[in-house]
């Protein structure tokens, strides 16, 4: 199994190839905000572990193993974004939160989240109920906070 760092590289390489048809070291470095030398080292490791084939100055190609893992990682990321969106996490926090949790969940947990997302998508009225519950709680907290501020004055 790849390490979390390897997963980040494979996910980004897969996305770049899907979007552009290729992934250069400079593209990967930009996507991950790392130095090209770091990318070269990781790409060599991924080559050694048979996730991709890398030829210096010629680029890289994902192996069937690398494509399978890359797609799975992109799908996991998208699923977790969908999940956080459904449960009401603000858009500006979703990407950072997914980056923070995606490597720490077991594939069993991911599968369970997948079922939950599918359940909510099939039953949009449940999403509305969840959001109403959240809004009611936020209103209640706001009213409580407002009352406590008045009593302090």
**Could you tell me which residues are annotated as the binding site for Mn(2+)?**
8, 11, 77, 99, 102-103
Spatial distance between the Cα atoms of 13 and 118, rounded to a whole number of angstroms:
27
Q: How many other CB atoms sit within 10 Å of the CB of residue 41?
A: 12
Q: Which residues contact 141 (CB under 8 A, 6 or more apart)?
A: none
Q: Which residues contact 45 (CB under 8 A, 6 or more apart)?
A: 6
For residue 56, give the DSSP letter: T
Binding residues: 8, 11, 77, 99, 102-103
Q: Which residues contact 43 (CB under 8 A, 6 or more apart)?
A: 9, 25, 28, 52, 54, 60
- For residue 66, how far is the Cα from the chain centroid? 17
């Amino acid at each position: 199994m790849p390490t979390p760092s390897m997963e980040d590289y494979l996910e980004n390489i897969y996305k770049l190839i899907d979007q552009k048809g290729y992934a250069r070291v400079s593209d990967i470095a930009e996507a991950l905000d790392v130095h090209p030398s770091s990318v070269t080292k990781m790409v060599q490791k991924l080559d050694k572990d048979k996730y991709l084939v890398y030829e210096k100055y010629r680029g890289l190609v994902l192996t069937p193993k690398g494509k399978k893992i890359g797609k799975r990682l992109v799908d996991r990321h998208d699923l977790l974004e969908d999940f956080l969106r459904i449960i009401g996490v603000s858009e500006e926090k979703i990407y950072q939160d997914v980056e923070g949790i995606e490597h720490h969940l077991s594939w069993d947990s991911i599968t369970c989240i997948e079922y939950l997302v599918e359940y909510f998508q099939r039953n949009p009225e449940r999403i509305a109920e969840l959001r109403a519950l959240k809004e009611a709680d936020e209103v209640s907290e706001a009213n409580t906070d407002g009352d406590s501020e008045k009593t302090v004055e």
